[in-house]
Structure 1
Amino acid sequence: MKYRKLGNSDLEVSAITFGAWAAGGWMWGSTDRNDAIEAIKASYDVGVTSIDTAPIYGQGTSEEIVGEAIKEISRDKVQILTKFGMRWDLAKGDFAMHSKNNDGKDIDVYKYAGKESIIYECEQSLKRLNTDYIDLYQIHWPDSTTPIDETFEAVSKLIEQGKIRYAGVCNYNAKQMEEAEKTLKLVSNQIPFSMVNRGIEDETVPYCIEHNKSILAYSPLERGLLTGKIHTNYKFQEGDHRANLPHFQPEFIEKTTILLNKLKPIAEKHEATLGQLVLRWTIERAGITIALAGARNAEQAVQNANAININLSQEEINTINEFVNQF
């Protein structure tokens, strides 16, 4: 595995980080708790020391699974990345969505990052994760109802108390990052980035490169689309949010398949899967520090981690870039 520092901090994370959204089951058509725990353990065994989770993933389930999985691992050998600012138990802030929890009950989710809420959320996360500190604490989504300085004053307080080590953001644009930085130094921004979703390269990536902020690319496999396992007649499990997304409609799947067919010979040359090739390309991209990769079982987790073993030549990277630019 390769390890990279976040921003100008001394926090080193694995270039492939375990993304624990699907582990929480919510929006992914349920989860098998034991499989999820084994997936985290298996990825750690092959060098993945960083795990990214959030309270909203299964309304606490994902964080509990992470807490359970790392029980037998020395705490200082793993980096826990979690989030705040999405409440399903409090109707305050920006309304985000109607949803159902893992039991099928209706819930309303709000983006809220008020001071008291953040302090409360941190305490809950620490309990579920079975730890006394969080390595990277990230606001999950911008909240237009709370001043950015109020949010990050609360985060500063948590750093002073030793409950968190560093602060990051998710889904912030350059202007919002700049505003947050007036109150607290950020180390990272977690944003969606993939071969078929490169919008952040226009403004956010240049800002992060210039100001030495790490980018944590989430959904680099475009929620499974870039593994090549999704075809036009693919049947999603009930409760799987992907079924209605634009990227999972037949026309987009067909277009993506054309791109993946061009990439196949390069993957085969390296005896790698398409997913592994995509992950390796992602962390070679300018400004991208780590790629978050989710896994439902140990086999998938190890396969994701092994993406690090692909050594792409500059010529191959240029060829892949050409195909991606044509997409």
Structure 2
Amino acid sequence: MSIYHQLTDSYQRQFTYLRLSVTDQCNFRCNYCLPDGYSAASPDPFLSLEEIQRVAAAFALNGTKKIRITGGEPTLRKDLADIIRICKSTPGIETVALTSNGYKITQQLPALVDAGLDQLNLSADSLEPANFEMITGHNKLQEVLAGIDLAISLGLKRVKLNVVLMREFNRNELSKFLEFVSNRPISLRFIELMQTGDNVEFFKKQHVSGAEIQQHLEQNNWLQVLRDPHAGPAVEYTHPHYEGNIGLIMPYSKDFCSSCNRLRVSSHGNLHLCLFADAHESLRPYLTQESSAQLAKRLQHLLGGKKETHDLHEGNSGSTRHLAMLGG
């Protein structure tokens, strides 16, 4: 497949990674995201399989190599295996990843791998069952951990466990999280809590700087590894005595946006140039009116509106009310 043109913005950043939300529904009630549960933000239907195919093809024509399927919680879509199959069969797409809360992941994962899934991210913001349930509203820690082990046994290329850092809920579990990767070939990634429209007070009380964890790692002989060109924003560390790695996602760190390589499309077909942008562009009208090549050209034009950096440092989270809207 010939690439029409590499997606490059006015700051010479190249975009080879698409985060594609397929639903904004979520069955967890995480205290930092949806403490009151899911409430539909739009009456419009989610992207259909045909629309997803068109989105994937247009991005692939622009050099996208990796698609991460997100939600909300993507496993709530009964056609998730078909979505994965469509993305993986799109010429030019090399890697299809999935981010899930792991609610029933052990039941679904074999079929998703058969459909072409390459990578899996699950979440466990605590390794203590009672604390996990308090954070998420569900007693599902053992299912998530079983999903990690199953993903490893099925031979997925990369398996990751996400942990949102919170001062009062899991900062004291650092040693447990490090021990968890001592004999598992996974990447455990600490993610700084990000301020959104709905969690301002919670953020002020619970935010932990990733620099605290980074300092601990570097003082204990963890070494930074080179970043894969199509990878996400994590700064990753390895240690000779640990089978797994530790990653840090620090959106409040200096120059975080300089290595940005990802764009987002919401479950309703909106192009978001940044997770924390004020505006977005609806692609839905063009998904039926334009060919993949025409849509690919349109994406290049729209990319010209991408800013150099987010405004999180000024307390501006744009139009993002909560992370379930776009899957982070």
TM-score under structure 1 normalisation? 0.46
TM-score under structure 2 normalisation? 0.46
Higher helix share: 1
